[in-house]
Amino acid sequence: DVKVTQSSRYLVKRTGEKVFLECVQDMDHENMFWYRQDPGLGLRLIYFSYDVKMKEKGDIPEGYSVSREKKERFSLILESASTNQTSMYLCASSLGTGGKPHEQYFGPGTRLTVT
């Protein structure tokens, strides 16, 4: 089974702190994604990566950055956390073969609270 793990289930940070959310997948997937999930808004794409060292902005990248130094690991960084970044953060991965859509496998999520 594909496994996507996220470093923390719950995280509480203060406004202005730099926050790192880590995601690791064990299936050698090329694609990795970071979403945030908010009630009534569904899942919104923050950043994604199709390969090591490669990153693309999603729909709501402002206030976030990412890092993909190794194929299995994709990190989301909140440079200076703000209260409006309180949310559930979901990481996902998928195979990446020539643009054909493949199932995305999700981690359990990190519920981040910024106070």
Partner 1 sequence: GENVEQHPSTLSVQEGDSAVIKCTYSDSASNYFPWYKQELGKGPQLIIDIRSNVGEKKDQRIAVTLNKTAKHFSLHITETQPEDSAVYFCAARYNKLIFGAGTRLAVHP
Verify binding: residue 4, partner 1, rule CB under 8 A.
yes
Backbone phi, psi, residue 83, to 5° = -60, -30
At position 36, the amino acid (one-letter code) is R
Q: How far is the CB of 109 from partner 1 (least distance, A)?
A: 6
CA atoms within 13 A on the CB side of 69: 3
List the one residue from 24, 46, 92, 112 that touches partner 1 (CB under 8 A): 92
Verify binding: residue 106, partner 1, rule CB under 8 A.
yes
Q: CB-wise, 11 or 43, nearer to partner 1?
A: 43
Backbone phi, psi, residue 85, to 5° = -100, 5
CB–CB of 30/11 below 8 Å? no
Q: CB-wise, 14 or 50, nearer to partner 1?
A: 50
Q: CB-wise, 2 or 77, nearer to partner 1?
A: 2
Q: Residue 42 belongs to what H/E stretch?
A: strand 42-49
Site map 62..91 versus partner 1, x via CB under 8 A: ----------------------------x-
Structure tokens of 13?
């940070």
Number of residues in contact with partner 1, rule: CB under 8 A?
20
